[in-house]
């Protein structure tokens, strides 16, 4: 089909964009089946336009058995029936563009679903067949092949290998799955795999997509010898951050650059080494990558300052803008995390029953919103964060669906708590998520979310939604925000304060005592009330005209 026209905006829109993450299953349900869908998103486009975002990033919307929330993709060129149709996706992309909002779709290059035609063909073809060469099939170790081919662990617990059964019922070869056993890893040494993904990029760019977010971008290629993991820090990792990844993303960048308008590549790159992280952002590779260091950073002034400095320093040599994010579909929601004694995030420390002070967490989340929206670069906003939604931590265990919980032996609560359908209106579930008389939402909503609906907050000037609308609107109107210069101000150790232009300052007080505001001529926006003496209270941020 013909290209959908892109807005005639600055080709560098992505350098300072506010990008809203849509988890389709939990955003808005139009047909009453309890699951969010694309028609629901289309009906809420005016809300997103009023919020002021520049783009929408969609978690996978493809046909999928949903073994891992859609990240087990069975067909990259269609839409799962629970979400709608391909025609609906095309309408959504077009209607959003008409409002000046671009669409970023998720690509999952590391693996496909076990229901993907390639994998079904590989299983049917049997050991040694060409169809199996698109994946990592290997015989097992041990006298009878009863042990996995190597010691690689799955990200979801247990070994990263699953054994097949031959047609005669005997145990067969093993296949690699770094995530769920329903997500077989692809072999990127195979030309079919590369050609297929390049064609998928063109398929969605032809339909007007403004970019792609690349899932698990640093785990895609593997050492073909499949060696065991070792404790030797000098040994190259066999499947993380391999040098051969960069040729793949250079080829993708050439495809993106061949389209009119700025079609961007956004990497999910968990990388502690700042220099190696920056390699993915060289001018001929990805445009941006997620900043997980800042996302997981605790609410502590020194740690935040270090994270900001490290992030900006890593991006500066390659001329790429930083990205800032507080939460996503995998991470404990900000209001909850910031209300805990340990305000950082680590998958290894997730557990049931951690005490949370939601009032404190909300104050900090409001301040963090102004902090992130004032930093140089682009910002990602996970759906429901603008409503101040907390993590739902009392989902009945029989309703939990995340494989992190299911494969973790019940000790890890998983990620369902940040994926609960968001509340739009009304006083009882489903809070406008579904129409009247609908099936119960796929995950249960707390009854006390009646106080957090978008409808209620729209009429409250002191609400989290009002704060986000004001901040995003001011960011768009303020010429020095988004991408651009940044200078720290000399302040007490408990305060983060910086200048973005000669006329704009952001200050955040993370200490226990009120502090004097930096020199200014006007207060533009504050995350909470200032003191009677016009000083900045604890856990409060302010934007100033200076």
How many whole angstroms separate alpha carbon 232 and alpha carbon 515? Answer: 48
One DSSP character per residue, 81-119 reads: TTT--HHHHHHHHHHHHHTT-EEEEEE--SB--TTSHHH
Using an 8 Å Cβ cutoff, are 242 and 221 in contact?
yes
One DSSP character per residue, 7-65 reads: PSS-TTGGGS-EEEEE-GGGT--SSSSSS--HHHHHHTHHHHHHHT-SEEEEPP-SS--
Instruction: Print the SS3 string covering 345-412.
Output: CCHHHCCCCCCCCHHHHHHHHHHHHHHHHHCCCEEEEECCHHHCCCCCCCCCHHHCCCHHHHCCCCCC
Using an 8 Å Cβ cutoff, are 311 and 277 in contact?
no
Q: Token pair for residue 335? A: 């209001």
Strand-by-strand arrangement of the 487-488 sheet: 487-488, 495-501, 504-509, 540-545, 522-526
Helix 191-206 × helix 245-257 angle, to 10°: 30
Q: Token pair for residue 331? A: 């991470």
Residues annotated as part of the active site: 215, 268
State the CB neighbour count (10 A cutoff) for residue 271. Answer: 20
């Amino acid at each position: 089909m013909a290209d959908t026209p892109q807005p005639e905006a600055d080709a560098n829109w992505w350098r300072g964009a506010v990008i809203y993450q849509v988890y389709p299953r939990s955003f808005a349900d139009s047909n009453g089946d309890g699951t969010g869908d694309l028609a629901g998103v289309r009906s809420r486009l005016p809300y997103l336009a009023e919020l002021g975002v520049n783009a929408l990033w969609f978690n996978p919307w493809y046909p999928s058995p949903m073994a891992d929330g859609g990240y087990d993709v069975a067909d990259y060129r269609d839409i799962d029936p629970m979400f709608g149709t391909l025609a609906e996706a095309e309408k959504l992309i077009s209607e959003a563009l008409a409002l000046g909002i671009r669409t970023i779709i998720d690509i999952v290059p590391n693996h496909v679903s076990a229901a993907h035609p390639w994998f079904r063909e590989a299983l049917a073809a049997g050991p040694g067949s060409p169809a199996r060469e698109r994946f990592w099939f290997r015989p097992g170790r041990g006298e009878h092949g009863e042990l996995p081919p190597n010691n690689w662990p799955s990200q979801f617990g247990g070994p990263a290998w699953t054994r097949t059964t031959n047609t005669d019922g005997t145990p067969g070869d093993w296949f690699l799955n770094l995530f769920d056993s329903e997500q077989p890893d692809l072999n990127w040494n195979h030309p079919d795999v590369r050609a297929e993904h390049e064609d998928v990029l063109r398929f969605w760019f032809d339909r007007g997509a403004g970019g792609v977010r690349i899932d698990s971008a640093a785990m895609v290629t593997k050492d073909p010898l499949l060696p065991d993991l070792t404790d030797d820090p000098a040994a190259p990792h066999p499947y993380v951050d391999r040098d051969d990844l960069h040729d793949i993303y250079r080829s993708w960048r050439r495809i993106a650059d061949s389209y009119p308008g700025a079609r961007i590549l956004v990497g999910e790159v968990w990388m502690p080494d700042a220099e190696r992280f920056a390699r993915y952002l060289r001018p001929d590779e990805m445009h941006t990558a997620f900043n997980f260091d800042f996302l997981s950073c605790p609410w502590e002034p020194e740690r935040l300052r270090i994270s900001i400095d490290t992030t900006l320093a890593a991006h500066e040599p390659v001329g790429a803008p930083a990205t800032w994010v507080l939460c996503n579909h995998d991470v404990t929601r900000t209001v909850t995390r910031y209300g805990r004694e340990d305000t950082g995030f680590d998958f290894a420390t997730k557990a049931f029953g951690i005490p949370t002070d939601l009032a404190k967490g909300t104050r900090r989340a409001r301040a963090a919103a102004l902090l992130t929206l004032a930093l140089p670069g682009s910002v990602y906003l996970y759906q429901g964060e603008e409503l101040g939604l907390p993590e739902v931590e009392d989902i009945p265990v029989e309703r939990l669906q995340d494989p992190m919980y299911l494969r973790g032996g019940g000790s890890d609560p998983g990620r369902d708590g940040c994926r609960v359908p968001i509340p739009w209106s009304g006083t009882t579930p489903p809070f406008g998520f579904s129409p009247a008389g609908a099936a119960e939402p796929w995950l249960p909503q707390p009854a006390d979310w009646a106080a957090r609906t978008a409808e209620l907050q729209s009429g409250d000037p002191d609400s989290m939604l009002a704060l986000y609308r004001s901040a995003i609107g001011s960011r768009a109107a303020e010429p020095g925000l988004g991408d651009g210069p940044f200078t720290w101000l000399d302040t007490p150790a408990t305060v983060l304060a910086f200048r973005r232009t000669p006329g704009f300052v952001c200050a955040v007080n993370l200490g226990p005592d009120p502090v004097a505001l930096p020199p200014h001529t006007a207060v533009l926006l504050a995350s909470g009330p200032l003191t009677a003496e016009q000083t900045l209270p604890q856990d409060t941020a302010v934007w100033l005209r200076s």
